[in-house]
Amino acid sequence: MAATPELQHTVGKTASLSGMSLHTGEKVTLCVQPAPVDHGIKFKRKDLQDEPTIDAKIENLKTVERATTIGEGSMRVHTVEHVLSALSAMGVDNAIVEMDANEPPIGDGSASPYVELISKASVIPQEKARQIFDVREPISIETKSGSLLVVLPDDKFRISCTQVGPEGRFSQFYSTEVTPAVFERELAPARTFVFYEDVQPLMEKNLIKGGSLENAIVVRGDAVLSKEPLRFPDEFVRHKILDIIGDLSLFGHRIRGHVVAVKPGHHSNAELARALVRERTKTMPTLQPRAFPPGEGGLDIRQVMDILPHRYPFLMVDRIVGFEGDTKISGVKSVTINEPYFGGHFPGHPVMPGVLQVEAMAQVASILMMKITKSASRIGYFISADAVKFRKPVFPGDTLFIHAELTKARSNRLAKAKCHCSVNDSVVSEGELMFTFLDK
């Protein structure tokens, strides 16, 4: 059954934050502003002529040395990863990030100032569903410098990460589901850290004018130098996860999957974001159904699969037998002993689960509704089932006929269908299903 969709979110009002930029050492004011659905996150350079904006998208990535920089033409926005991490993890899909310099304020080197800023602006739902990328098979990247990142299928967005410093110093591991609460408490406070041997040449070249122990932890040998003590014993790996969230947000879609990262850095994070874009482009055609064939004729399995996103083992209809006018549809499903659920439902006494008959009704009814609304660009979400009754068991070898009749279509957003399944002309299950429609 399709779950209730997650909605897109933006900020409720504009909020701003001032501070110093890391690389130039200059004062900068950043404000987050509300934006409409499907806008995504865009940066706006208020200090430049015509105030150009740029999408926080991987195709605009310019450099990944020490920090993540995006750009277009001659315009650049440096060190975007911490503010992007906070926006993404706190659930903001659409916003304008306006700045009067080429880099956000570095703050204390963590993402906590941005979490505070977003809380001040508040996060509010919008009227359209989020696009979530479901990872279906492992996607991995490896770099010459020894980073390895893989995303595995998962029903949540999780990150597991290991961090190793020079000569194996400060090896750390952390694994968590990423939610706003977890981010605010466990990840956002983790500060930027640098190894002395890496920053010394930059300090000599005066490339990090704003850098100090106020906004980064410096590790020299086994010594940890910072203004305040470590916030977590494993603060470094937590910061690595914070950076991964920010860099992966350049993918532009929410991820349902488990990211496993070994020695990640901005370069490898960006490579993974690119791999996700490639993978999504590959799987897109199956999610974009073709136009409906005209008339009341049936649909074969290929046409059914063009319309429904469901796949084995969750496609519960083999064929649409036909339509009757605009309100009725009949489908068929052959129930064979090879159905995966018979192995456990129940060993020695195989019976088709009633809930899967309800799912079959929902799939058949949603085909009818997509035909009526003449739009395959909208998805019908199953929101309730009433008066469900299971009258007779369904066994392997049975042919399940699935019937749905549209009884109510209030507006074009809500519809109700009376459904039943039958075997050999006798009703085996029935129910009244309600759907809502949302644009994809």
Positions annotated as catalytic residues are 266, 345
Q: For residue 339, state whether it binds Zn ion (rule: CB under 5 A).
A: no
Sheet holding 53-55, edge to edge: 15-20, 27-34, 95-99, 41-45, 53-55
Q: For residue 103, state whether it binds Zn ion (rule: CB under 5 A).
A: no
Q: What's the Rg (C-alpha) of the chain?
A: 26
Give me the DSSP letters along 262-312.
ES--HHHHHHHHHHHHHHHHHHHHHHS--PPPSSS--B-HHHHHHH----T
Q: Distance between CA atoms of 290 and 375, rounded to whole angstroms? A: 10
Site string for Zn ion, 188-207 (x = CB under 5 A): ----x---------------
By CB under 5 A, which span of 240-248, 257-265, 337-345, 390-398 interacts with Zn ion? 240-248
By CB under 5 A, which span of 144-152, 187-195, 269-277, 418-426 interacts with Zn ion? 187-195
112 or 192: whose CB is closer to Zn ion? 192
* 122 closest CA partner among 262, 261, 244, 11: 11
CB of residue 419 to Zn ion, shortest distance in Å: 52
Footprint on residues 269-288 left by Zn ion (CB under 5 A): none
CB of residue 140 to Zn ion, shortest distance in Å: 23
By CB under 5 A, which span of 90-98, 238-246, 284-292, 343-351 interacts with Zn ion? 238-246
Q: For residue 235, state whether it binds Zn ion (rule: CB under 5 A).
A: no
CB of residue 197 to Zn ion, shortest distance in Å: 18
Q: Give the CB-nearest residue to Zn ion.
A: 243
CB of residue 141 to Zn ion, shortest distance in Å: 19
258 or 266: whose CB is closer to Zn ion? 266
Across-strand partners of 8?
Answer: none
163 or 357: whose CB is closer to Zn ion? 163
CB of residue 260 to Zn ion, shortest distance in Å: 19
Give me the DSSP letters along 7-60.
EEEEESS-EEEEEEBTTT--EEEEEEEE--TT--EEEEETTSTT--EEE--GGG
By CB under 5 A, which span of 86-94, 140-148, 186-194, 313-321 interacts with Zn ion? 186-194
Q: For residue 184, state whether it binds Zn ion (rule: CB under 5 A).
A: no
Structure letter (DSSP) for residue 210: T
Q: For residue 108, state whether it binds Zn ion (rule: CB under 5 A).
A: no
Site string for Zn ion, 395-414 (x = CB under 5 A): --------------------
Torsions phi, psi of 26, nearest 5?
Answer: -90, 160
CB of residue 192 to Zn ion, shortest distance in Å: 5
Give the torsion sign (CA, 198, 199, 202, 208).
Answer: positive
192 or 330: whose CB is closer to Zn ion? 192
* 390 closest CA partner among 360, 424, 430: 430
Among 184, 243, 271, 430, binds Zn ion (CB under 5 A): 243
Q: Distance between CA atoms of 212 and 209, rounded to whole angstroms? A: 8
Give me the DSSP letters along 120-154.
HH-EEEEEEEPPEEE--S-EEEE-TTS-EEEEE--
Q: Which residues sit at the interface with Zn ion, rule CB under 5 A?
A: 192, 243
